[in-house]
């Protein structure tokens, strides 16, 4: 544990891991810029992260793209962000970026922040999801750890799942194949402290929102921007009122 924690604890490596926290694959050149390091220094850090199983690499032509090794690494990043002291906001740019992360972001490959929590609440309200513990909300339950995947979540697909998710561009039939990753998983959102949808279904909802232009990823950030079309779509399909810039 100490050896792995030391890898997260080095500032340059931490910046690279956070840059990969939205589930995308990035070339070493982008990670070098994010960490403020030379190419050789970046390669050395990436080699350590690969050896520890924290990142994976995928060759593409002459380039090598790096990504987090899996959602469990993203969960550690979220948990550490929750307990880390907040950086003082010393500029308008910093304040804007912090607010953008709270408003909407990706947690590995699914939606988080107010956007992720409200979308999950909308799915629950419309019967695409249903609670199995009698609590008809996404509020954090008493056994849940802050900013962590929910070990035993209290949800299942509801009677309206196929119809409601279809309106979002997500096909349950296509998600029905075998996979080691569970269809339904939930995290305690570290800014909202309520549940947001993860797992294969959460990834599919996020991917569909990107493909349809409802949200736009911000360069080199985990924050996402909700477009006017997205705000209209989420309001019409889920009854969720979202702010646009």
Q: Which residues contact 195 (CB under 8 A, 6 or more apart)?
A: 117, 120, 138, 139, 140, 144, 150, 153, 155, 186, 187, 188, 189
* CATH number reported for the structural domain that contains residue 17 in this entry: 1.10.10.10
Residue 81 lies in a domain: no
pLDDT tens, the chain, 245 aa long: 888 888 888 888 888 888 887 677 788 887 887 788 888 999 999 999 999 999 998 876 677 888 899 888 888 887 777 676 665 544 434 434 455 567 788 888 899 988 999 999 999 999 999 999 999 899 988 888 766 788 889 999 999 999 999 999 999 999 987 788 899 999 988 778 789 999 999 999 999 999 999 999 877 677 888 999 999 999 999 999 877 65
Q: What does residue 239 show for φ and ψ, rounded to 5 degrees?
A: 70, 25
Secondary structure class of 95 (helix, strand, coil): helix
**Whether residue 107 sits in one domain with residue 40:** no
β-partners of residue 108 are none
CA separation for the pair 87, 56 (Å, rounded): 29
Q: How many domains does the structure of the chain reveal?
A: 2
Distance CA 23, CA 212 (A): 18
Same domain, 99 and 47: no
Give the C-alpha distances (Å, rounded to integers) separating 81 from 52, 118, 229, 237. Answer: 20, 21, 31, 32
For residue 34, give its domain range: 2-69
Are 228 and 134 within one domain?
Answer: yes
Residue 244 lies in a domain: no
Q: Which of 188, 186, 212 lies closest to 198 in space, CA to CA? A: 186
């Amino acid at each position: 544990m100490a050896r792995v924690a030391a890898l997260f604890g080095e500032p340059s490596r931490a910046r690279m891991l956070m840059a990969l926290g939205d589930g995308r694959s990035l070339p070493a050149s982008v990670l070098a810029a994010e960490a403020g390091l030379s190419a050789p220094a970046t390669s050395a850090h990436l080699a350590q992260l690969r050896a520890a199983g924290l990142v994976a690499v995928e060759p593409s032509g002459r380039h090598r793209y790096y990504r987090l090794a899996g959602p469990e690494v993203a969960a550690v990043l979220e948990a550490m962000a929750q307990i880390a002291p907040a950086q003082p906001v010393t500029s308008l740019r910093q304040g804007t970026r912090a607010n953008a992360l709270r408003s909407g972001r990706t947690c590995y490959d699914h939606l988080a922040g107010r956007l992720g929590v409200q979308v999950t609440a909308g799915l629950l309200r419309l019967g695409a999801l249903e609670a199995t513990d009698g609590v008809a909300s996404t509020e954090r339950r008493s056994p849940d750890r802050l900013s962590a995947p929910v070990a035993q979540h209290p949800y299942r697909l509801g009677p309206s799942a196929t119809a409601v998710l279809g309106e979002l561009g997500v096909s349950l039939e296509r998600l029905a194949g075998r996979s080691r990753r569970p269809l339904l998983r939930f995290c305690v959102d570290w800014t909202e402290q309520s549940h947001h949808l993860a797992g294969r279904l959460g990834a599919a909802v996020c991917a569909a929102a990107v493909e349809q232009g409802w949200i736009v990823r911000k360069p080199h950030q985990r924050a996402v921007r909700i477009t006017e079309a997205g705000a209209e779509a989420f309001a019409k399909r889920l009854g969720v009122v979202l702010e646009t810039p």
